Amino acid sequence: MNKLTKILARILEIDERKINNQTSPQNTPTWDSYNALLMVSEIEDAFGKNFTMTEVMKVKNVGDIKKVLRRHGVKI
């Protein structure tokens, strides 16, 4: 799996194979506000990018995370 999936799987404590674009707080019990902050921090560090608060607030699922990364020039 890719770097993003590995980060998400570790923080959310779920199998990498269960992560897809629709994975979200609504269908992933471990995706709470604390883990959301951890995800932002670790994704920023892993990809060397900084996200705006607006970008972070618009993220509703993994597909949205990928869109933000693409806007910052990251190939997913």
The CATH number covering residue 54 comes to 1.10.1200.10
Over 70: is that where the pLDDT of 33 sits? yes
Residue 76 resides in a domain: no
Q: Select the more confidently predicted residue: 1 or 24.
A: 24
Decide if 23 is inside a domain.
yes
pTM as predicted? 0.94
Answer whether residue 64 is part of any domain. yes
Domain residues for the domain of 46 are: 3-71
Counting the structural domains of the chain, the total is 1
Task: For residue 42, tell me if it sits in a domain.
Answer: yes
Residues 6+ apart with CB under 8 A from 45: none
Section 46-75 average pLDDT = 97
Residue 40 lies in a domain: yes
Averaged over 27-34, what is the pLDDT?
97
10: in domain? yes
9 in a domain, yes or no?
yes
